[in-house]
């Protein structure tokens, strides 16, 4: 059992160091890095002091500590996935609005330069002022 505790603690510490390195090299945003750093610290803490999980399971009325760990893991991953979907939705909405603004800006630039808007033949737009 001691080797399992040592392995879990080392994995938590190693993951913490890897996350800090990724944040430092800008491979991972600070907000995301903090989330994963908390997960790694909790893993290291539970590896070093496994009785914490037993105590929490008893207080919550869960018969087995591994069941509590499994439930907590699922909840954390569910929350992380939901947050990721929310961020993706926000990013997609911002990108769609940015594309719309860019299209309007390009149409204004073309109109200011006297060129035909995208989708109209050049002869229709440029022939308006040439009949005088």
pLDDT tens digits for 22-51? 989 988 888 888 888 888 888 888 878 888
- Domain shared by 28 and 1, yes or no: yes
What pLDDT score does 86 carry? 94
User: What is the spatial distance between Cα 94 and Cα 80, in angstroms, rounded to a whole number?
Assistant: 21
Average pLDDT, integer, range 110-130: 65
Q: Is residue 7 part of a domain?
A: yes
Q: Is residue 45 part of a domain?
A: yes
User: What is the spatial distance between Cα 67 and Cα 71, in angstroms, rounded to a whole number?
Assistant: 6
For the chain, how big is the Rg over CA atoms in Å? 28
- Domain shared by 39 and 82, yes or no: no
Q: Is residue 29 part of a domain?
A: yes
Residue pair 25/60 in contact by the 8 Å Cβ criterion: no
What pLDDT score does 121 carry? 62
- Domain shared by 33 and 8, yes or no: yes
- Domain shared by 70 and 43, yes or no: no
Q: What is the pTM of this model?
A: 0.63
pLDDT band for position 82 (cuts 50, 70, 90): very high
Residue pair 96/89 in contact by the 8 Å Cβ criterion: no
Domain limits for position 22: 1-49
Q: Is residue 43 part of a domain?
A: yes
What pLDDT score does 130 carry? 47
> Where does 25-118 have alpha helices with state H?
30-48, 51-60, 65-113
> Which of 43, 49, 34, 44 lies closest to 73 in space, CA to CA?
43
């Amino acid at each position: 059992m001691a080797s399992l505790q040592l392995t879990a603690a080392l994995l938590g510490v190693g993951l913490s160091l890897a996350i800090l390195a990724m944040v430092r090299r800008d491979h991972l945003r600070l907000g995301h890095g903090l989330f994963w750093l908390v997960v790694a610290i909790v893993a290291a803490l539970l590896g070093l002091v496994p009785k914490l999980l037993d105590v929490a399971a008893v207080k919550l009325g869960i018969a087995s500590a591994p069941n509590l760990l499994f439930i907590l893991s699922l909840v954390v991953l569910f929350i992380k996935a939901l947050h990721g979907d929310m961020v993706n939705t926000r990013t997609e909405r911002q990108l769609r609005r940015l594309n719309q603004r860019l299209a309007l800006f390009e149409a204004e630039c073309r109109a200011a330069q006297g060129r035909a808007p995208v989708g109209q033949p050049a002869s229709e737009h440029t022939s308006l002022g040439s009949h005088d």
